[in-house]
């Protein structure tokens, strides 16, 4: 009788595979309130590494971290009509506190444009105060009707950047800088996901923005996942909150603004982009544990793996020592495979006699015997090769499962079949976009024919990327 697989195979039931992996790899659990999640230590370690890599890039872009309250007066949200209309169905509102009804209800932060603008209007007085570049790492609440761990949860973790500028051009260029040099750089070079950079249609644009830039990744089942967004807010919030400054010419001017964010949704994207039927595969540049050194059995092996671990740490690698010889080796190996640690170094009595160790690579698969003394020099090269392989696989998937089409019917068919479609925006248009929505298919973004981000929705040669999405 065949042994049952640890995970439901992807080809059999992709959503079930996803949930199995989250459980078996000990990434997260469902919270006690519907739509919430408990992020377990290994899953939170992935998020911490994402934070570290992102935070460094955000600071290189000139932004500083700050923190704003979780509770927002309901009246703040009503000041920008399009914004409150866009978020109204998702709001969690507190009406009682301290045992009595509040004089004014407060909203649990769904995003912070309104409360941050309340303070920007105080802090910005002169052109000398601009640009004002702020980022915060926080949690937000959006009441989710169809929750899914990491992808859509009522409460999730994220970073949200908010900036104020003297001119439209400065704000536009900064939003584009975040989009390309912070988000795309991180997602491509650290997460190993081949994201498409594009412009959202007016239908998909962030509530209150004049333009939304997006990064879309193709998941293992061919669906799209919005990995992050960067918004040009124009002067919409400045008008609502009177965020003005005295220009060099001595005139009161409205500030031009941006906001931008990424969230724990990226953990879900990581799972669905790189995971296979054996579990997660973590890109080496992201991995909190790049190498696990395992003692198979015996006190001498335990001593040796600790020595190897120290040597590899000294070489700059992120290492975990697994010396739990009282737990069966096969069980431990399966656990590390599920967690997607890029490299396992396995050491047993026979290896000690030969001065070798078994090198197991999670991403391409396979094992080989290597000299223990060569590990510190060999592993950095191995890890970079595996990082490159994940990105190449992501790119090949997107390219092979994207169809060039000329009709709305063909675009819908490609998306329903589990792929993406590229169709001229002049052919599709807003009317065609509405027809696709009836089939749960959406325009993920607009791109130029050469793959760049178009300057305007109706720029000549603009192509719509069409897909089903998470």
Per DSSP, the residues of 109-133 read -S--HHHHHHHHHHH--BGGG-SEE
Residue 27 confidence (pLDDT):
98
**What does the pLDDT look like over 53-109, one tens digit per residue?**
999 999 999 999 999 999 999 999 888 878 878 888 899 999 999 999 999 999 999
Residue 88 confidence (pLDDT):
86
Per-residue pLDDT averaged across 383-399, rounded? Answer: 98
Q: Which residues pair with 424 in a beta bridge?
A: 463
Q: State the pLDDT confidence band at 2, using cuts at 50, 70 and 90.
A: low
How many beta carbons lie within 10 A of that of residue 25, not counting itself? 24
Give the E-state strand segments of 174-265 in sequence order: 196-199, 211-218, 224-234, 244-246, 252-254, 256-263
Residue 83 confidence (pLDDT):
80
CA distance 251 to 238: 15
Residues recorded for the chain: 470
Q: State the pLDDT confidence band at 468, using cuts at 50, 70 and 90.
A: very high
Tokens of 218: 């193709």
Tokens of 227: 């990995």
Residue 1 confidence (pLDDT):
53
**What does the pLDDT look like over 133-154, one tens digit per residue?**
999 999 999 999 899 999 999 9
* CA angle (441, 445, 447) in 5-degree steps: 135
CA distance 309 to 323: 11
* pLDDT above 70 (res 19): yes
Residue 145 confidence (pLDDT):
86
Tokens of 170: 């400065």
Tokens of 351: 């290896």
Q: What is the pTM of this model?
A: 0.95
Q: State the pLDDT confidence band at 298, using cuts at 50, 70 and 90.
A: confident
**What does the pLDDT look like over 400-456, one tens digit per residue?**
999 999 999 999 999 999 999 999 999 999 999 999 999 999 999 999 999 999 999
Tokens of 430: 């807003």
């Amino acid at each position: 009788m065949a042994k049952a697989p640890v995970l439901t195979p992807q080809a059999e039931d992709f959503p079930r595979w996803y949930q199995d992996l989250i459980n078996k790899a000990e990434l997260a659990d469902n919270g006690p309130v519907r739509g919430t999640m408990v992020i377990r230590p290994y899953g939170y370690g992935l998020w911490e590494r994402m934070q570290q890599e992102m935070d460094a890039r955000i600071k290189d872009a000139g932004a500083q971290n700050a923190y704003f309250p979780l509770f927002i007066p309901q009246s703040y949200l009503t000041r920008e009509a399009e914004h409150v209309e866009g978020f109204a169905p998702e709001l969690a509102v507190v009406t009682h506190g301290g045992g009595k009804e509040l004089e004014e209800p407060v909203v649990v932060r769904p995003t912070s444009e309104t409360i941050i603008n309340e303070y920007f209007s105080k802090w910005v007085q002169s052109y000398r105060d601009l640009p004002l570049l702020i980022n915060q790492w926080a949690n937000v609440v959006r009441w989710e009707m169809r929750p899914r761990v990491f992808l859509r949860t009522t409460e999730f973790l994220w970073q949200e950047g908010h900036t104020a500028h003297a001119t439209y051009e400065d704000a536009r260029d900064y939003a584009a800088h975040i989009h390309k040099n912070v988000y795309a750089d991180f997602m491509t070079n650290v997460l190993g996901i081949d994201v498409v950079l594009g412009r959202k249609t007016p239908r998909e644009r962030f509530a209150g923005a004049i333009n939304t830039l997006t990064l879309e990744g193709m998941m293992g089942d061919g669906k799209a996942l919005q990995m992050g967004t960067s918004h040009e807010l124009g002067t919409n919030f400045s008008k609502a909150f009177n965020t003005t400054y005295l220009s060099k010419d001595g005139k009161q001017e409205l500030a031009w603004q941006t906001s931008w964010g990424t969230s724990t949704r990226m953990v879900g994207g990581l799972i669905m982009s790189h995971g296979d039927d054996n579990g997660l595969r973590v890109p080496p540049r992201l991995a909190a544990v790049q190498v696990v050194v395992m003692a198979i059995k015996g006190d001498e092996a335990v001593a040796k793996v600790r020595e190897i671990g120290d040597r590899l740490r000294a070489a700059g690698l992120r290492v975990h020592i697994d010396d739990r010889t009282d737990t069966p080796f096969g069980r431990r190996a399966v656990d590390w495979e599920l967690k997607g640690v890029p490299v396992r170094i396995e050491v047993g009595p026979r290896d000690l006699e030969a001065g070798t160790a078994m090198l197991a690579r999670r991403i391409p698969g396979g094992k080989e015997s290597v000299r223990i003394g060569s590990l510190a020099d060999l592993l950095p090269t191995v890890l970079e090769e595996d990082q490159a392989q994940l990105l190449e696989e992501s790119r090949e998937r997107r390219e092979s499962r994207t169809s060039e089409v000329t009709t709305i019917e063909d675009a819908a068919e490609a998306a329903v079949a589990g792929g993406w479609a590229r169709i001229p925006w002049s052919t599709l248009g807003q009317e065609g976009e509405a027809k696709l929505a009836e089939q749960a298919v959406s325009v993920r973004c607009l791109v130029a024919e050469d793959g760049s981000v178009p300057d305007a929705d109706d720029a000549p040669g603009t192509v719509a990327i069409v897909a089903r999405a998470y």
